[in-house]
Amino acid sequence: MGLVSRGAAEAGRGAASAVDRPGPPDAVPNPTPTPPAEGADPGSSRPGMVLKAFFPTCCASADSGLLVGRWVPEQSSAVVLAVVHFPFIPIQVKELLAQVQQASQVGVTVLGTWCHRRQEPEESLGHFLEGLGAIFSHRPWFQLCRERGSKSWSCKATHWQGPASPAASGEDQVMLIFYDQRKVLLSQLHPPTALPDRQAGDTTASAGGLAAVFDTVARSEALFQSDRFDEGPVRLSHWQSEGMEASILVELAKWAAGPVCLFLACLLSLISAASACRVFKLWPLSFIWSKLSTCEQLRHRLEQLTLIFSTRKAESPAQLMRKANMLVSVLLDVALGLMLLSWLHRKDLIGQLADALIPVADRVAEELQHLLQWLMGAPAGLKMNRALDQVLGRFFLYHIHLWISYIHLMSPFIERILWHVGLSACLGLTVALSILSDIIALLTFHIYCFYVYGARLYCLKIHGLSSLWRLFRGKKWNVLRQRVDSCSYDLDQLFIGTLLFTILVFLLPTTALYYLVFTLLRLLVVAVQGLIHLLVDLINSLPLYSLGLRLCRPYRLAAGVKFRVLEHETGRPLRLLMQINPLPYSRVVHTYRLPTCGCHPKHSWGSLCRKLFFGELIYPWRQRGNKQD
Amino acid sequence: MEDEQSFSDICGGRLALQRRFYSPSCLEFCLSCPRITLRSLTAVTCTVWLAAYGLFTLCENTMILSAAIFITLLGLLGYLHFVKIDHETLLIIDSLGIQMTSSYASGKESTTFIEMGQVNDVVINEAIYMKVIYYLCILLKDPVEPHGISQVVPLFQSAKPRLDCLIEVYRSCQDILAHQKATSTSP
């Protein structure tokens, strides 16, 4: 199969070059071979090399003219950007191209001729087109031709050798690749995720190929300013010739954006200056601010709003996307918050909530008292040490009593407070959820206190036990060497040590039980708070604008390209259609995710279990080095 | 130029390999996987509905039956759209690259395109999985090391053809790659 295909390849190649010259222009080279002035082909091309011509679909129905674009010698491909129509003056065309080259840093030149003709070949046009090859020297010189109303295309690319060898010009096969200019202009290519050991410099080198095509089209905005319907000296055909789309609302929004941004930026800077003033840095207030997650969320939102409304333009597309994502996230947040507010007010839930809060707090306290009574008796059939049990139980019961008194003191103000808190939902659903999390933390403050007491007691006991256990075996902890060494104790030391060890061992079950019960309660509260924080993080970090863009305009976020082979006849050049392959949703979320407050649990399950066993206090999330309830 | 041949996959199912020769530098292979059979579909539906009916007799709640119907429908739709691959296509274009397309039974297509500059070689690899199976894969170049290999991309993962089919595809790919290496301008 391999040998047969190679033979067929040779035959095919020979046939294509011999057949279908468009009319009179012959393979006879220009009698006065001009030495190539610019765009010289480096050395002679090898026979049988296939050149690629990227042709915009909008120009497929344009009238005859000159092809204008960029030649990329490394990939031997020509990117056609526009077609210049007859009549034109070559000097003006060269001027325009020089202007565009300066404005966009893209090497735009005349690449060849484009012939879109009716059935009868026109002799004069053919010779004229040949002559143009002499005026605009570019090697290789492309000649694309299409018959009006049919699907048959023909193209050839000719090289002129230098004056040293004025033999027959070499011809190369050309492969036509059609692309949608508008979509390629607007899309942004996302290369596959780089391996961690690659350096930044390598990606640009290996990106080549199609990234060069996208880059060329994106940077040649200056070429697309004028059109064939404009009155200028040069008439071009490109994607704008099919009709420019614009929207009055978008234009108005752009015009109004400037002053609005300025005003909001001033307002936000005032707010941030006010919040950074010295009063809030005093000790009790700063301590409270650092503990509440609401303040964290508000600060985060303030930062985001400052970034959105800053008067500096976004430098890169990634920054622009980030701004847009933040704006949509804030708007959605506020919309959800307002919905929540309207729902609360419609059913007068705030009043009901305020009325229900005190009884719920009472109920919780009552349940805790029952629990403690149970622990003071014979919980689960275990026999507790009577005296210690009574002491601990009474201690905690007194705390609960204090707590209930405080709640009852606060009860007249609860409804007012809740009403104001409900108002804060118009700042966003995330703020309302953070306040809910803080309210839960405040209401279960006594559980937190009990946990701390129980944990400290248990921790002390465990440390004492381990140290006395070492004494029991005749060993000691060497602090200098951080290891266990043997040690000879005196008799009275051994006696006291063993006695204390025995006492602690027999008191262990009681302490351990209290510790276990309060740790479980604390973990329950932490789990509820964790769920709320997870929801807040989700709303904060989801890139909704990018997802919406992927849904509605999938060509804007490109993971790559895909090709489709169009109708092919033997002897004609190969035609492909290049379409944009959109980014999958998972990569969109991964690439454009917004940074959150960064409060994630820092412990692994193993270290968590270890801490629980030894009675060390666990702080489930740390924010910027601060501990949080 | 188009021709079609019949092969079998590693489980014994029938595969059809369609080869389209557009030009000496452009070749397309289309491998069609065995279709979903009425027998398997009926078996799965009957199992699900019998289980639902069994639960219904225990719980006396008609929601279980409607839930079973929904689950069957959604499961079938999800299977056709996300899991069942109808045919896989390999398109090699000299000097552009290699493109792999998987078409699902619901019509969805997922495409990957690898540029020729990144392709080191196309090889047949061996894998030991209860028995020895062969698979065709593309070796990608390592940008840091000129002759190193950074990634291996396996082809025809759902069709899983046997060695005879792979040899056909391999020979044609090697022809085109050799032709491309001979005429490439960049070192």
* A550-596 residue pLDDT tens: 999 999 999 989 999 988 887 788 889 999 999 999 999 999 998 88
Are residue A565 and residue A534 in the same domain, yes or no? no
Q: What is the DSSP letter of A45?
A: P
Torsion sign (Cα): A339, A340, A341, A343: positive
Give the gap in angstroms from C-alpha A579 to the nearest C-alpha of chain B.
11
Of B57, B144, B169, B158, residue with least CA distance to A197: B144
The minimum CA-CA distance between B47 and chain A, rounded to whole Å, is 34
Residues A535, A577 share a domain: no
Position A621 scores a pLDDT of 60
Q: Is residue A208 within 8 angstroms of chain B, CB to CB?
A: yes
ipTM, 2 dp: 0.86
Integer Rg of chain B from CA: 22
Q: Which of A177, A203, A563 minimises the CB distance to B113?
A: A563
Instruction: Note which residues in 584-613 of chain A have CB less than 8 A from chain B.
Output: none
Residue B69, min C-alpha distance to chain A (Å)? 29
- Whether A360 maps to a domain, the answer reads yes
Determine the Cα–Cα distance for residues A260 and B84; give it in Å rounded to an integer.
53
Closest CA to A621 of A494, A531, A490, A489: A531
Residue of A nearest to B140 (CA): A206
CB A511 within 8 A of CB A388: yes
User: Which letter does DSSP use for residue A221 in this model?
Assistant: G
- Exposed, middle or buried: residue B99 (CB in 10 Å: 0-12, 13-18, 19+)? buried
Q: Is A6:B175 a contact under the CB 8 Å cutoff?
A: yes
Is B147 a residue whose pLDDT tops 90?
no
The low-confidence residues of chain A, meaning pLDDT below 50, are 1-45, 161-168, 195-206, 623-629
In a domain, A619, yes or no: no
Cβ count within 10 A of residue A211:
16
Interface contacts (A, B; CB < 8 Å): 93
Residues A56, A185 within the same domain: yes
Q: Which of A74, A202, A562 sits opposite B113 (nearest CB)?
A: A562
Residue A77 to residue A51: CA distance in whole angstroms: 6
Using a CB-CB cut-off of 8 Å, the residues of chain A touching B171 are: 1-2
A28 within domain boundaries: no
pLDDT at residue number A171: 66
Distances (CA, A) of A284 to A272, A274, A279, A410, A440: 20, 18, 11, 21, 21
Q: Do A569 and A463 share a domain, yes or no?
A: no
Amino acid A336: pLDDT? 93
What pLDDT does A213 receive?
A: 86
Model pLDDT, residue B35: 86
Q: Is there a single domain that holds both residue A411 and residue A524?
A: yes
Is residue A89 domain-resident? yes
Across the interface, do B95 and A197 touch by the CB < 8 Å criterion?
no
Among A residues 74-103, those touching chain B with beta carbons less than 8 Å apart: 74-76
Same domain, A609 and A463: yes
Residue A18 lies in a domain: no
Q: Which residues of B touch A173 (CB under 8 A)?
A: 25
The answer for residues whose C-beta is within 8 angstroms of residue A89's C-beta and 6 or more apart is A233
Contact assessment for residue B122 and residue B139, using Cβ atoms and an 8 Å cutoff:
yes
Asked if residue A530 is part of any domain, the answer here is yes
Report how far residue B48's alpha carbon sits from residue B46's, in angstroms, rounded to the nearest whole number: 6
Helix (H) / strand (E) containing B131: strand B131-141
CATH number, domain containing residue A75: 3.40.140
**Closest by Cβ to B143, choosing from A49, A52, A198:** A198
Do A441 and A476 reside in the same domain of the chain? yes
CB A532 within 8 A of CB A433: yes
Q: Which residues of A touch B92 (CB under 8 A)?
A: none
Q: How far apart are CA B93 and CA B23, in angstroms?
A: 9
A75 domain-assigned = yes
- Per-residue b/e over A562-589, b at no fewer than 16 CB within 10 Å? bbebeebeeebbbbbebbbbbbeeebbe
Are residues A218 and A239 in contact, defined by beta-carbon separation less than 8 angstroms?
A: no
Cβ A117 vs Cβ A109: under 8 Å: no
Full domain range(s) for residue A569: 49-159+171-191+206-241+554-593
Asked if the model's pLDDT at residue B82 lies above 90, the reply is yes
Cα separation, A548 vs A557, in Å, equals: 11
- For the stretch B22-72, pLDDT in tens is 888 889 999 998 888 899 999 999 999 999 999 999 988 888 899 999 999
d(CA A362, CA A350): 19
In a domain, A514, yes or no: yes
Mutate which: A19, A52, A175, vs B, most B CBs within 10 A: A175
Same domain, yes or no, for A585 and A487? no
Domain count, chain A: 2
A197 interfacial to chain B (CB closer than 8 Å)? yes
Say if residue A348 is in the same domain as residue A397: yes
Helix/strand/coil percentages in chain A, nearest 5: 60, 15, 25
The answer on A213 and A64 residing in a single domain is yes
**Is residue A559 located within the same domain as residue A462?**
no
Distance from C-alpha of A167 to C-alpha of A44, rounded to nearest angstrom: 13
Shared-domain flag, residues A347 and A482: yes
Best interface-test mutation with A: which of B18, B82, B90, B96 has the largest number of A CBs within 10 A? B96
* B154 — pLDDT class (breaks 50, 70, 90): very high
